[in-house]
């Protein structure tokens, strides 16, 4: 629980899945005959499901997000989805540059990226480059549980906000620091972005076709999201530690190392055998056929055959069961040795059918297969609809915006979206007046000096 705080009532999102209705059950003759029996004791009244949902696991936890863009702040987004109060501290002039990153909307201070990723926040403007702003910020830290920042290492210290200083005003504070290369090491002061982290970590080296220019591993800043996920895990662990000891701690995540951590066996393969994994295009060194294949109607499917049994099923879907015989390609080692031949057989078969036909035949034989979806495909997909993966939320000054919904799905305490990215400084007065107890006159003074 934040110092001096109380659980904040959250608003139920219109995107939450409705409670499962209990189907009506027909009354049997035996049951009907028993209606004259004495009534059983009245059952305990059940709590309103909406109230239960408002009691999210992180209710009462206050998070300060003082970072920019995604790496780190996305961890605060996750915490906010499960009940934490997230205060976005921004510079009074312009705020987080993420507000201007991505597709513009009818709101001058909000792109679609901002609306989606700055969800569940209140915006508070404070200039940390001025001493009065630092003092105001420390008052806020004293009443909070978690601080998230992602500036170049040394920046917070230059502002007078070192970890020892922050700890002195709040010994229970948990601080997440996300940067390109981490807080230590010879590269710590270098600028860090997801694109650079993808390169430095080894991910970009693996993306593309053999002998060709390495490509971007998708256009999304994966490193920022991955680093934030590790950061969120660290925060939850630190909260558990604080429950036991009362002490906070510092969490240090380098974007590059978060990406490096998910690259499976490249480190042990090089350490033991000196093997350097190279670019493999749409395939994989571990299995064949295992990649992307173009259909007759110009669409694409992904097929994964990582075991002999899976290939046997694919051969049946092709109506060529002999391909899976021991004499041909029924053994993984033989398939890998004849990679080009097996891939060509698959390419020709997929290319002779439409995507729907390939999907139908593979699914009938339980072959792992999936379409390469565009976002248009996802909007029309029945599974996306059934899972509620696309949330429709009203955004101030913009209208309805579709954003990815909350994950993971929890059975008892599902997360929620209360609001999309806020307007700049929308909660400054509220937070300073109600949380910090600063007078209206002093707030007016701070505004006049452009501290807030």
The DSSP code for 305 is: -
Q: Which residues, 6 or more positions from 401, have their beta carbon under 8 angstroms from its beta carbon? A: 112, 115, 116, 392, 393, 394, 395, 420
Least Cα distance to 228 among 124, 149, 162, 166 occurs for 149
- Cα distance between the two ends of the chain: 27
CB atoms within 10 A of CB 121: 26
- Which three-class secondary structure state does DSSP give residue 128? coil
- The pair of structure tokens assigned to 101 is 């990153």
Angle at 139 between CA 188 and CA 92, to 5 degrees: 70
Ramachandran category for residue 83: left, alpha or beta (phi over 0 → left; psi -120 to 50 → alpha): left
Angle at 208 between CA 203 and CA 210, to 5 degrees: 115
Encode 8-75 in three state secondary structure: CCCCCCCCCCCCCCCCCCCCCHHHHHHHHCCCCCCCCCCCCHHHHHHCCCCCCCEEEECCCCCCCHHH
Q: d(Cα 14, Cα 389) in Å, to the nearest integer?
A: 13
CB burial string 202-217: b at 16+ within 10 A, e below: bbbbebbeeeeeeeeb
- Which three-class secondary structure state does DSSP give residue 190? coil
Q: Which residues, 6 or more positions from 314, have their beta carbon under 8 angstroms from its beta carbon? A: 289, 303, 305, 324, 346, 362, 365, 367
- The pair of structure tokens assigned to 18 is 């409705």
Q: d(Cα 34, Cα 51) in Å, to the nearest integer?
A: 35
Q: d(Cα 381, Cα 373) in Å, to the nearest integer?
A: 9
Residues marked active site are found at 224
CB atoms within 10 A of CB 8: 16
**Cβ atoms of residues 70 and 101 within 8 Å:** no
């Amino acid at each position: 629980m934040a110092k001096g705080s109380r659980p904040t009532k959250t608003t139920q999102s219109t995107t939450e899945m409705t409670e499962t209705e209990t189907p009506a059950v027909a009354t049997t003759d035996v049951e009907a005959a028993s209606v004259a029996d004495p009534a059983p004791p009245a059952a305990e009244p059940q709590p309103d499901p909406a109230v239960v949902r408002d009691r999210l696991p992180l209710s009462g936890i206050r998070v300060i997000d003082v970072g920019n863009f995604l790496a780190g702040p996305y961890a605060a987004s996750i915490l906010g989805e499960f009940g934490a109060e997230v205060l976005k501290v921004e510079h009074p002039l312009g705020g987080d540059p993420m507000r201007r990153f991505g597709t513009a909307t009818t709101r001058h201070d909000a792109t679609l990226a901002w609306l989606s990723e700055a969800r569940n926040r209140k915006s508070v403007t404070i200039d940390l480059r001025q001493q009065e702003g630092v003092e105001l910020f420390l008052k806020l830290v004293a009443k909070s549980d978690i601080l998230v920042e992602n500036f170049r290492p040394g920046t917070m210290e230059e502002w007078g906000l070192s970890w020892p200083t922050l700890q002195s005003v709040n010994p229970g504070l948990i601080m997440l620091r996300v940067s390109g290369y981490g807080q230590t090491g010879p590269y710590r002061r270098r600028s860090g972005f997801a694109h650079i982290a993808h390169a430095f970590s080894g991910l970009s080296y693996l993306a593309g076709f053999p002998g060709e220019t390495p490509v971007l591993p998708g256009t999304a800043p994966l490193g920022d999201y991955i680093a934030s996920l590790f950061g969120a895990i660290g925060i939850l662990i630190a909260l558990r530690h604080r429950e036991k000891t009362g002490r906070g701690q510092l969490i240090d995540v380098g974007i590059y190392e978060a990406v490096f951590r998910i690259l499976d066996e490249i480190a042990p393969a090089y350490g033991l055998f000196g093997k350097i994994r190279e670019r493999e295009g749409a395939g994989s060194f571990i299995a064949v056929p295992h990649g992307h294949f173009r259909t007759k109607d110009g669409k694409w499917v992904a097929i994964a055959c990582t075991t002999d049994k899976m290939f046997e099923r694919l051969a049946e879907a092709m109506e060529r069961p002999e391909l899976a015989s021991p004499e041909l390609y029924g053994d993984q080692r033989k398939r890998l040795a004849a990679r080009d031949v097996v891939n060509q057989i698959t390419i020709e078969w997929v290319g002779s059918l439409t995507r729907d036909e390939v999907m139908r035949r593979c699914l009938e034989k339980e072959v792992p297969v999936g379409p390469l979806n565009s976002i248009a495909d996802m909007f029309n997909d029945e599974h996306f609809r059934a899972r509620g993966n696309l949330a429709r939320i009203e955004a101030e000054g913009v209208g309805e915006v579709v954003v990815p919904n909350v994950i993971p799905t929890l059975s008892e305490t599902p997360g929620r979206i209360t609001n999309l990215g806020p307007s700049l400084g929308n909660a400054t007065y509220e937070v300073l007046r109600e949380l910090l107890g600063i007078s209206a006159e002093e707030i007016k003074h701070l505004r006049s000096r452009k501290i807030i």
